[in-house]
Chain A
């Protein structure tokens, strides 16, 4: 007798459990999506100082991906504007590191100077190349203010390759591919400046 009643209670419990989980999922799904979007925006955009833009850069794509560059691939590009004027272009770039692909977000101001570089995804060696994922990142900050013209093309390399940039200790391949991806992004910006920053003005 106890067996049957127990079975009925168990069935009821399972039914209630499934129902409750389903209802909770249904009622929170929208909010969870919003929260995830918010968080993604925040982590993406902290490469830009908040006073640099007043639009939703991620809602304003200016590059139709993917674009294959010399050493990397562009997965997207976004325009940040302030008071209707372009203030920065964000290029989402993917390069091949030592262990796998590295995704970077490169922020460039309308004059072609680097505002910042942030690692979005990487799978480099922990303790060595994985240091590119730290934020704020002293090594990536050495690129800030640089542009395609300064330094010159040949200096856009690691010191090991007769360039002017330091590398991350013990992570030459990682450092080189990040540097080349940043250089690629700057070159792409210079070649497509009008297309990247002109969207608002044209409208």
Chain B
């Protein structure tokens, strides 16, 4: 059931590592992504039943392109400095919207699933952004993409250890990286 979502989740990895080098960048990209994909999802929800499959794809692409183009112009006008470090990932937002739409066609539109994804993505972005900004002052590696990967891996490992250690024993222990 979850199989189509693999593509979308894999895509989320790109900004998760690339755009989370500071809290502001992480928060900004997540907000832009949440707003645009919500707008895209709502509009496609209204149009979907009136379109054939090829038309649906085309409509989804046009809509994603329009929304991201407008968002990128607005970002340039009001937050140029943030925009310059994120400009690459604004294009990614469009890709992610189209992928999400593709998922909806296969798995059916599930709002709770979508909200969970957005929440999880936001949580990870903010955690990684804050962590990398903090550690980056001491270890510059944390600000580069490999550092992002390593930290993400450590976060996931900590979560894994926490969830698997809980049921058998009563001691809740998170190994410190």
Contact = CB atoms under 8 A, between A and B. Distances in A.
A binds B: yes
Interface of A: 2-3, 5-7, 9-10, 13-14, 16-18, 20-21, 24-25, 28, 31-32, 35-36, 38-39
Interface in B106-154: none
B151 to A, nearest CB: 23
Interface in B16-53: 47, 50-52
A17 to B, nearest CB: 4
B63 A28 contact: no
B50 A5 contact: yes
B70 A9 contact: no
B12 interface: no
Interface of B: 47, 50-52, 55, 58-59, 62-63, 65-66, 69-70, 73-74, 76-78, 80-81
B47 A13 contact: yes
A16 B47 CA distance: 14
Contacts of A25: 73
Nearest to B70: A24
Given A18-B66, A36-B80, 7 more contacts: A2-B52, A3-B55, A6-B50, A6-B55, A20-B70, A31-B78, A38-B80
A10 B76 contact: no
Given A28-B74, A39-B81, A17 B63 contact: yes
B50 A9 contact: yes
A10 B59 contact: yes
Smallest CB-CB A-B distances: 5 pairs: A17-B66, A28-B77, A31-B77, A6-B51, A35-B80
A7 B52 CA distance: 9
A38 B84 CA distance: 14
A6 B47 CA distance: 9
Nearest to B47: A9
A119 to B, nearest CB: 18
Given A10-B55, A17-B63, A21-B66, A32 B47 contact: no
Contacts of A10: 51, 55, 58-59, 62
B52 A3 contact: yes
A32 B62 CA distance: 24
Nearest to A30: B77
A20 B65 CA distance: 11
Given A13-B62, A17-B62, A17-B65, A7 B55 contact: yes
Given A2-B50, A9-B47, A21-B66, A32 B80 contact: yes
Contacts of B51: 2, 6, 9-10
B37 to A, nearest CB: 16
A20 B66 contact: yes
Contacts of B73: 21, 24-25, 28, 32
B81 A32 contact: no
13 contacts: A6-B55, A7-B55, A9-B51, A9-B59, A16-B66, A20-B66, A21-B66, A21-B73, A24-B70, A31-B78, A32-B80, A35-B80, A39-B81
Nearest to A36: B80
B119 to A, nearest CB: 29
B69 A21 contact: yes
A39 B80 CA distance: 8
